[in-house]
Structure 1
Amino acid sequence: MNTAVAPPPLGSWPPDRRAASTGTGLWAFMGVATALFTLFILAYAMRMDSGDWSPIAMPWQLWLSTALLVAGSLLLRRAAVAARSGHWAAVRMQLGAGGACALAFLGMQLWAWQALQAAQVMPAGNPAASFFYLLTAMHGLHVMGGLVGWAVTARGAGRAAGPAFAWRIALCARYWHFLLGVWLVLFAALGWLTPEAVRWICGTG
């Protein structure tokens, strides 16, 4: 049965102080993760101007994994909106579909790794390949961490309802948007950043 719960009144979102502190903690974590990925990308950009750098072709599976992450982010956003409106049947459906997209994203990333290894592109021997495996693995670990939070939230979606639980879903959606943003930057850097572009950006070209 779809139990409708009235959305919180204007000005009461987040619903309580504990929810607000949890949201602040998530912002802090995403800030630290952003700094970490920024450092990795800077190291990637500086390393690619060396003589042993050999660019690798991006596996086509990355396009599918990108589409899956976009879909998961949109689904969790819709789940958060539905939760605030009290439409819990829609919340459970969209929350489940969003998590399935994230699991499929990880599977697609593993498939991309297998495709590279079948083409003899290994983590060792070529720094471009080493960075590809490192950056995609780091992002994958963050997706796995997000799936832990998603699983806890999805498990409670069948029993809980109300503003506090809606806030938990909103936090999941926020983290998924972050994962998507990081991935788009990584995908662009891995696929299209060149030594010439780096020198142009730095003003040394």
Structure 2
Amino acid sequence: MNPDAVYKVSRDDFGGSPAGGDATRHSNMGGAPGSIGLWVFMGVVAALFSLFLAAYAMRMDSADWQRIALPWQVWLSTALLAAGSVAMHIASRSARAGNMAPARLALRLGGLGAAAFVCSQLWAWQALHAIHVVPANNPAGSFFYLLTAMHGLHVIGGLVGWAYAAAYRGSGEGAVLRITLCARYWHFLLAVWAVLLAALGWLTPELVRYICGIE
């Protein structure tokens, strides 16, 4: 066994259990509920956004639909969220390799990227409001605000979990699990954002009718 790959295990990492082997087994068992819980939560969120996108596609065929041009801040937001996801991937990989110092640094950078994403989205809203695109005067604008707001709320929720993981000072499997779950959620947020961006930027009534087989 490579001694460099061995985690530093403390009693705090496993709830203060005095038995190292029992503590390790407890940690391995305790990681499963957290991982499964996150998968279930992401499944529910994916279903929620699928319903929103279905409503968006059906609403596009209305006579009062006026497509809006996405502000350039949206592309900045995309770059920031992608950078945060890359940082989280590095954090997770470093943590699993036992390199906790670079893992924590990458974890912080990932969180900063997500926080900057939220700020950039608020900037995009401000840009749309400046050209009089508000939720009340255009269904396309209403859906833009709704979809990006819902995504932003899930990013903010992720930042709450990120703060919990960043504040955890242990270096055992508990720390690795927290960082790994943060990385998984960040990748999910990026995937959802990519789908939303594709729908908001390129989905048209003609394409919706073609997909649905409507002449």
TM-score, scaled to structure 1: 0.92
Matches within 5 A, 1:133-148: 133-148=145-160
SS in 1 for 2:52: helix
Q: Give the structure 1 partner of residue 74 of structure 2.
A: 62
2: CA distance, partners of 1:7 / 1:43: 49
1:109-157 residue CA offsets vs partner (Å, 9 max, x unmatched): 000000000010011021100000000000000000000000010011x
Counterpart pick for 1:167 among 162, 169, 177? 177
How far apart are the structure 2 equivalents of 1:114 and 1:63?
Answer: 15
**Matches of 1:5 and 1:64 in 2, distance apart?**
38
The Cα offsets for residues 168-189 of structure 1, whole Å up to 9 and x where unpaired, read as 1100000001100000000000
Name the CA distance, whole Å, in 1 between partners of 2:99 and 2:56.
45
Change (3 A) 1:13 1:46: farther
Contact 1:14-1:167 within 8 A present in 2 as well: no
1:181-202 CA distance string (max 9 Å, x none)? 0000000000110000000100
1:76–1:95: 8 Å Cα contact kept in structure 2? yes
Distance 1:105 1:166, change over 3 A: same
* 1:152 alignment partner, one of 164, 188, 201: 164
Distance 1:14 1:203 in 2: 53
Could you say which residue in structure 2 is the equivalent of 1:42?
54
Q: Distance in 2 between matches of 1:13 and 1:114?
A: 51
Report the identity percentage.
Answer: 60
1:80-119 matched pairs, under 5 angstroms:
80-119=92-131
Q: Displacement, 1:160?
A: 0.8
Name the counterpart of 1:188. 198
- Aligned residue pairs total 197
Alpha-carbon shift at residue 164 of structure 1 (Å): 2.2
TM-score when normalising by structure 2: 0.88
Once residues 7 and 32 of structure 1 are traced to their aligned partners in structure 2, the CA distance between those partners, rounded to angstroms, is 34
CA RMSD of superposed structures (Å)? 1.8
| Higher mean C-alpha displacement, 159-168 vs 114-123 | 159-168
- For 1:38, give the aligned amino acid: S
Aligned amino acid, residue 143 of structure 1: V
Shift >6 Å, 4+ stretches: none
